[in-house]
Structure formats: structure tokens, C-alpha cells
Chains A and B, each alone.
Chain A
Amino acid sequence: MAAPLTLLLIVAVTIRAVLFRSSLAELISARVEVVSPLNAWKRVVEGLALLDLGVSPYSGDVFHETPLMIYLFHFTVDYAEIVFIVSAYFFRKQKYALESDRYSADCLELLRSPKEMFYIPLKVAMFYLLNPFTILSCVAKSTCGLNNAIIALFIFCTLKGSALLSGILLALATYQSIYPLTLFAPALLFFLQRLYIPVNLRRSSFWFFTLQYAFMYVGSLVVITGLSFFLLGSWDFIPSVYGFIFSVPDLTPNIGLFWYFFAEMFEHFRLFFSCVFQFNVFFYTIPLSIKLKEHPVFLIFMQIAIISIFKSYPTVGDVALYMAFLPAWSHLYRFLRNIFLVSCVLLACSALFPVLWHLWIYAGSANSNFYYAITLLFNFGQVKVFTTTWLTNCEWKNRWRNKVSLFINLY
């Protein structure tokens, strides 16, 4: 197991190093699909330059990173490339832990053999490290890679059973971008399942553990926020980072749905629709937790997918994060409907994004509608990917339970 993993690591690091040194690095770090106003490296450098000039980085509207990030890069700005490669490495450590979640059953054609299961972490690592989206994100030095690493570490600690570390890492992930807040529920459900505490609102043990975990999480969040305040001496970073994420003032095109919607929004309805769109991300937590309370790992995957699609400034790095989870459900591959169609849609959109961007911005022969259409299609494809995965997961559960052929009466 160690040998193929090491080989994979070497290949991944080589690809990234080669691309870092080539002239493509400049080109990639300017692409709007890969970087967004929240996590562009150019803006981090700009924030550091403003700090050197004696101006607060949050006094303008260019820099939207958290203060801890400034101080991290203040010291490592020359070695930034190494930081990003290392964070990619951390990511796949957690994949080992997924094995412990699998049920053992004797229905062989529905499950993978133990031999297959052995290779899942390697497949997951491969899916992430060699995914072109991740490579682009890393070469562009987008801080999305760091966010992904923190989320991966959080999942690792959760699966390993360490509640305190998991709480701290989740607080760190929430501090970076507010959306991982929704991952609190699946983590909680996982711990409850692991400790054999039934999810019953009337049981005191449930509340006891929930409060414990919530306290650890909220406590670490408060500590981290307080630390940021003391680092820079003001609360400016809160409207600059969190206010920016929620109110979406910057309409730079990206692969998400927000930018064109708010560029063409009537002023009167702007506040209403911002609230609706932001609520849309957090809204699915409770219903999904109720439905999937026995499968917290799948719930984590669903939450990450929802965040990646409906967040205010998505990039391909976020897409790569949930795509890396797909090999963990390789037992579903046989049953995935329309998978060919959906993957073709995603591939075609990924290819068309730079083409239509060039036609709009540089050639002047297309207009913003072309790029917007591809955005719509890409997001539609992503929605189809994870709803299909979920659907086949439900089917698989039923088959496994009933071991009979199924006639599913759906749409």
C-alpha cells in the first residue's frame, strides 16, 4: 500500500513542480474559474503589500482573507508553492479512515470485495491528486487548496474519533469560509453513532454529547476569532471577509450562479435574493441529517457538494473536493444512471469555459450570455452528479436489504 501511494505522491508533486516553473503558472493564476476574489493569490500578495505600506489590508476591497492567513503567508510567502503541495498531501491521509465505516455483508454482487476495498484510499488519493482541477488550483496558488486541506483533516479526525480535534478543525474551516458550519451536523451524527448514543431528542445522553461537542466547536471558533482581533487590532476583518461572503458585492465572473444573477438583479429585490441564495446553502442540513442519520459519511459528502455548488464564489478547487469522495462509493458505479451523459456534460463545460471566456473578454465576438450559459450547464451537471449518487445509494440500500429485483417507480 505504501509503495503505490508514494509513487502517486511523487507523480503528483512532479506535475505540480513542473507546472509551477513553466510559463503556464501566470496564465493559470489569472483564470477566473480557478481563482475567485476570496482566494486569489494575487490578492494575498496585495494584502501583504498593503500591510507593508502601513495601510490596513481591509481598508480597501481587494483583500478578503482572514488575518490568520495573512500571518501564515507573511512568513512563508517565498515558500508558498511548498505550502500548497504539502496541503495536498494532507488531504489524502484521511481517506484511510473511510474503511472503518463500511458495513460488512455477505451479498457479494452488491458489495465490493475486501480486495477492492483495500484500494479505495489509493483511488481516492488518485482522484484528488491527479484531478486536473486540483492541479490547476494548486498551481494558481489559490488558498482553496488550504481550505480543502483543513476540511480533509477535519474529516480525518472525525473518522478517527477525536472530538476535540475535530471541533477545532471544523472551527478553523468555518473561520476561513463560513459555509463549513453545515458540517457540524454530520460530524455530530458520526460521533453519536460511534459512541452508540441513539439520536433521540428525549434522551439526556444525546443532549449531553451534543452540548459537549458544540462547546468545543464554538469555543475554538471564539478563540480563533479573538486571536485574529489581537493580530490586527481591529474588527475590520469581519465585514471584509464574512460580510463579503454574504452580501456578494463583487460580481467577477466565476463558475457559480451568483455573479450574473446579481449583475442583472433589480435593485429592489437584491436583498431578498441574496438572503434566499445564502439560505439555500444552509437549508438542506436539517432534512438531510434526518434522512441520512445512519450514514454520516455520506451526509458529509452531500453537504460538501451542496456547499461547492451553491456557495457565493465557487472555484474548481471546491468541485475537486467532493469529486474526490466519489471512489469511496465505488460499489454504486454499476447502478449510476446517466453517468455517461453527466460526465460528458461536465467535461464539455470544463473545456468550454476558457473558450467562451476568451471570446467574450479578448476576442469581443461573444458576450456574457455565452459564459453564463456554460455556468448554468456546469452547475446543472454537478447537481445531477450528486443527486444521481444519492439516488443510487438509496437504491443500493434497498437492494441490500431486500435482495430482490426492484422495480423503482420514479419520475
Chain B
Amino acid sequence: MLILSSLLLFILLAAARDEFQEELVIRPLHSGDIYASFQFRTLWDTDFLQEGQKVSHYRLFPKSLGQVLSKFSVRELHISFTQGFWRTMQWGQPFIPSPPGAELWVWFHDTVSDVDGNWKELTNVLSGIFCASLNFIDLTNTVQPSASFKPLGLGNATDHRFLRYATLPREIVCTENLTPWKKLLPCGSKAGLAVLMKSEKLFHSSFHSQAVHIRPICQDEQCSSKAWELRQTLNVVFDLHTSGQGKKEWSLFKMFSRTLTEACPLASSSKVYVDITDNPELFELSPATPLLGQAVVLGDRRTYSVYDLIMPTSSMVLSPCALGDMLRPLLHAERYVAGFGLQTGEIHTVIYNNHPYRAFPVLLMDSVPWYLQLYIHTLTVTSKSRDNKPSYIHYQPAKDRHRPHLLEMLIQLPPHSMTEVTVQFERALLKWTEYTPDPNHGFYVGSSVVSALVPSMVAMRTNFTQDQPLFSSFVPVKEESSYFVRVYTEPLLVNLPTPDFSMPYNVICLTCTVVAVGYGSFYNLLTRTFQVDEPSPPLSKRLANLIRRMRGVPLLT
């Protein structure tokens, strides 16, 4: 039975040359939370962008995404929906970082002539596919970063005219977004690891992020053949304390309220990794597995217990007793707004370098909406209370109602230090129709992105192997001594002064009144002639004159 199914799989794979892998990584965190990261990867050896030939036979790769790629000549697409904020200092670095809300960045192919038009249509189509309000992405919140978002897949693109980046910090993620995301998987939510993804438990968590990453990659070291890779990732952090568990004990059933039954028949590999690096002898995994794997990810060598679902197994229980020290994240960033009142303010971004002796440069990218007018001459960067001048500044000022500010800086962080970047801004008064229905809630400013190549304490693997776990092969590693990290800061909530929304008619009337008073006085003075008038005589004189007239006698003067 098993031989037959594997033979069938082999034939199918040989014919269509696409491949599907799924994995789940469970890592207990030091704060008592559990981090679960699902990754589903589909590799397909085809060319969406070739002229003339339209790809029509889809098997594992979802057709909706394939059509999107070919219609809009997309080379790379990265979209994520996140609910919650990743707490780097308590939880460590995530495998795949994402900012709160929705984030979309796309590299278009060089052949595209109207990138803005394609971007507009792409956001609307994706908004339909993912049931999210991505149609709010328009030119007023789209930027073209020059250095922060280099392609993660193939391609030596340097022309950032083909890159578009937008973020919607106000976007809320819910079941409506999870369902179409699950539908993109080859097995849906019926078999394999996706069975665990039930929304009641997934959204009852501290952090939830689902993402889709599409990029072209090399299939081997010499890059003789290229393939399209679709990765769907779901990162969840469960807070065991709030979910009612007194003791530090978790099981798959307790976390997801489901158990794993079988692997997805279309998957070539289906694995569950449990991170047992911290005090392995104190852990008790049930059912135990003799399979152990080691991987270097994010500058840290970690040991994992590997469960392969192709060989069926039962549900897992783990009872840890105590956890050792967490590796302190080397790069961490925070952001907040300072100042009082509704006229001005200051944005402070604080970046921490926790490496004890190495300094390294970071690229900070800030995209601020146009209604907060930044004053770049007030930009100050201080490290250890001394001025730290950035070596590269790319600043594109905002155009009112057309595009946001974009500020990118390359800052050298001294070892074991805190660097503070401050910029002053002024808040604009908008037209009354430009406010959201709840204007006193405030306006969101998207997260800053800090990208860096952090020096690693452990040598990273640069050679390319097919059997690497998915979570360690997301970001291409170019050199052994450093790894790429992207940190997102908090989004900001800023209040703007509001006009009185009940007053349009009154304002028009009153202002026109004042103008009319001016006009009326002018008209009066321009057209009136002055003439001399005799003052009217007193009453007695008038009566006397009346009598005199009757008598026919000359009048008094």
C-alpha cells in the first residue's frame, strides 16, 4: 500500500516537476509562551513570465496566484498579515519577521512599462484573493525603498523603480483572511499539518502572522535550472498562562485543539521539529523520537527533535521543567512619539546593538504619511550620547496627498550601545472629508524597518543542500560570518487636530458674511456721492414758516 502510493507520487512528481513540502517548528520560549511556525513550500519548475506561452496546467501551485504573477509580470511578491507585535526581547528573533497589520512588497519584472498601474491593479486583485482591504494601498502610502528591500530570490536588480512597498498598519486579521490563505494549500485544511489550523485557537494567541512569499530560486548550486518557490508561512505565539494552563506543559491538542492524523499525500516531506536546545535532559517528549537534527538559524546552533509525518505517529506531549538562558537578540529596535499638543511632535527610533564587541551597520527605513510633515534638518542620530552621522541618507520628501515621506539611512552601530534617531514633525489640518470615521482614534504610522547583516557567533552554512529544513533556508546566506536580520518597530498612533465636522454650512455662511461686509462697505463707498444738505430747522421755526406761507408773508431763513 505504502509502496504503491509512493510510486504514484514519484510518477506524478516526475511528470509535473512540482514539489510540496510542509513543516512545523515548535519552540518553547523563555517567557513561557510557545512559538509555532508552519511553513508550506511549493516548488515549480516553470516560467510564468515567458512570452506567448500561457501556463494553464496547474497542479500544486495555486492557479489564482499563478495568474496574478503572469498578468502583472511580478518577479517577487511578499505579503503578510499580522495581528500583534513581535516582542523581540522576550521571544528572540522570529524565523520570518513581519510588521503589525498588512505588508506588501513586490518586485516587478524589467519589462513592465507602467509600474504604478500594475501596482494598483495588483493590490486590488490581491485584496480579492485574501479578503483583505488591500485596496486602501494607493500612491499615498506606497514607497520605493532604494536599499532596504533587495530581492530575496534570484535577480541582481538594482533599479528600485520596479520595487513597491506599502504597509497598512490598521489592517485587522481574522478568520476571513485565514480561510482563503488555507485554500491556497494543495491539501487545503483536510490533510497534513494544515489540519491544526483552526481559527478559534489560532486567533486566541499573543501573535499571529500569516504570509505568502513567492520568488524565483535556483534549484542547485550552479543555478542551472530555476524554479518558482511559493512559501506560505504561519507564525503563532501561544500564551500558555492565559489559556488556562497552570503548569508548563503543552500538547498539540491543547494548543490547536486538533491532532495530527496523516501527512498530506501530495507532500514530498512533512516534518515536525521541536526545539530542544534549551536543557534537553529536562525535557520529556512523548512520543519520543530518536531522530535529532541540528540547524544553524539566526546565528544560533539549535538542536531539534524531528518527527516525520510520512511515517505516521501520534500526538505529542512535552513537559519541560526549567529553561536555561535565552540567547539575547543582537539587534532590537523600538519607536515612539514624543511631544505634547496637536501641533508638533518628535519621532524617536531607538536601536539597540547587544553584541559585546562588534559594531555593524544597519539600514533604517522610515515611511511617514504626508500629513505628518517631517523636518529633515532636525534629524539627529546619537550613539552613546555622541553624534553619529549616517554614511548614507536617501530622503524623498512627501508631496501633499500624493506620496509619503521616505527616509533611509545607513547607521553604524557601536558595540553594546543604544542609538537614538529623532526627527521633528508638524501635524497638518486635513480637509474634513479626509478624516476616518473615528478621527479622534488617531492616524497610524507604519513600522520602521531595520535591516542588517548581524555578525554571527556561530558559522553559518553557505552551501546549498536540498534537505535543509525550511525554516533555515528562507533567507539566502551569502557569507559564513553573518546572517540577515530584519526588525520591525512598533507602529505609531498619532492624533491630528480636527475641524468641527458638523459645521460646513455654518462656516461657509459666516466666512462669506465677513467677505460680504467688506464688499458691501466698498460698494457703498465707491458708489455713494456726498452732498451737502441743509440741516432741518427746529420745529418752532417750521411751524412759523407754515403759518407765514399761509399768510403769504416771506419765510424765515
Query: Chain A interface (Cβ within 8 Å of chain B)?
Result: 30, 32, 42, 45-46, 48-50, 53, 55, 59-62, 249-253, 257, 259-267, 277, 280, 284, 287-288, 291, 309-310, 360-362, 364, 367-369, 372, 376, 379-380, 383-384, 387, 390-391, 394-395, 398, 402, 404-411
Contact = CB atoms under 8 A, between A and B. Distances in A.
Contacts of A411: 524
B293 interface: no
A58 to B, nearest CB: 9
8 contacts: A30-B344, A59-B396, A257-B514, A261-B508, A291-B525, A310-B515, A376-B511, A394-B525
- Across the A-B interface, the 6 shortest Cβ-Cβ residue pairs: A60-B397, A49-B377, A387-B521, A362-B341, A264-B504, A264-B507
B510 interface: yes
B530 A61 contact: no
Given A261-B508, A380-B517, A53 B343 contact: no
A257 B398 CA distance: 26
A251 B498 CA distance: 11
Contact of B400 (A61, A368, A395, A410): A61
Interface stretch (B197-205, B358-366, B368-376, B483-491): B368-376
A78 to B, nearest CB: 14
Given A251-B429, A257-B511, A361 B399 contact: no
B522 interface: yes
B511 A261 contact: yes
A291 B526 contact: yes
A353 to B, nearest CB: 14
A252 B525 CA distance: 34
B431 interface: yes
A234 to B, nearest CB: 15
Given A360-B497, A369-B500, A62 B373 contact: yes
Given A32-B343, A61-B398, A309-B518, 18 more contacts: A250-B400, A251-B431, A252-B428, A260-B507, A261-B508, A264-B504, A265-B504, A280-B515, A284-B522, A288-B526, A291-B526, A369-B500, A372-B507, A390-B525, A391-B525, A395-B530, A398-B532, A409-B533
A55 B397 contact: yes
B393 interface: yes
Interface string B387-399: 0000001011111
B504 A46 contact: no
Contact of B499 (A252, A368, A407): A368
B528 interface: yes
- Which has the most chain B C-beta neighbours within 10 Å: A60, A253, A402, A405? A60
B432 interface: yes
Interface residues of B, number: 51
Given A61-B398, A361-B343, A42 B514 contact: no
Contact of A380 (B376, B498, B514): B514
B468 interface: no
A287 B526 contact: yes
Given A62-B375, A288-B526, A260 B499 contact: yes
A360 B377 CA distance: 28
B357 interface: no
Contacts of A59: 396-397, 399
A222 to B, nearest CB: 28
Contacts of A391: 525
A184 to B, nearest CB: 19
B466 interface: no
B433 interface: yes
A266 B504 contact: yes
Contacts of B432: 263-264
Interface string B515-540: 10111011011101010111100000
B7 interface: no
Contact of B508 (A60, A265, A309, A379): A265
Interface in B419-440: 428-433
A288 B522 CA distance: 9
B429 A263 contact: yes
Nearest to B402: A61
B533 A407 contact: yes
Interface of B: 340-344, 370, 373, 375-377, 393, 395-401, 405, 428-433, 497-500, 503-504, 507-508, 510-511, 514-515, 517-519, 521-522, 524-526, 528, 530, 532-535
Contacts of A405: 535
A361 B342 contact: yes
A251 B500 contact: no
Contact of B511 (A260, A368, A395): A260
Residue with the greatest number of chain A CB neighbours at <10 A, chosen from B511, B526, B528: B511
Contact of A408 (B397, B530, B534): B530
A249 B243 CA distance: 52
B514 A376 contact: yes
Given A46-B375, A61-B399, A387 B497 contact: no
B341 A361 contact: yes
Nearest to B528: A410
A61 B514 contact: no
A367 B532 contact: no
B409 to A, nearest CB: 11
Nearest to B512: A261
A30 B343 contact: yes
B508 A264 contact: yes
A310 B514 CA distance: 11
A364 to B, nearest CB: 8
Nearest to A58: B397
B377 A264 contact: no
A257 B507 CA distance: 10
B505 to A, nearest CB: 9
Nearest to B513: A376
A372 B398 CA distance: 28
Given A61-B370, A62-B375, A368-B500, A383 B517 contact: yes
A250 B400 CA distance: 8
B525 A49 contact: no
B390 to A, nearest CB: 11
Given A55-B395, A260-B507, A372-B507, A379 B514 contact: yes
A271 to B, nearest CB: 13
A310 to B, nearest CB: 8
A410 B535 CA distance: 15
Contacts of B510: 376
A53 B519 CA distance: 47
B522 A387 contact: yes
A244 to B, nearest CB: 10
A263 B401 contact: no
Contact of A264 (B373, B376, B499, B534): B499
A311 B473 CA distance: 63
A299 to B, nearest CB: 12
A15 B426 CA distance: 29
Contacts of A46: 375-377
Contacts of A267: 431, 433
A61 B370 CA distance: 9
A390 B507 CA distance: 29
Contacts of B401: 249
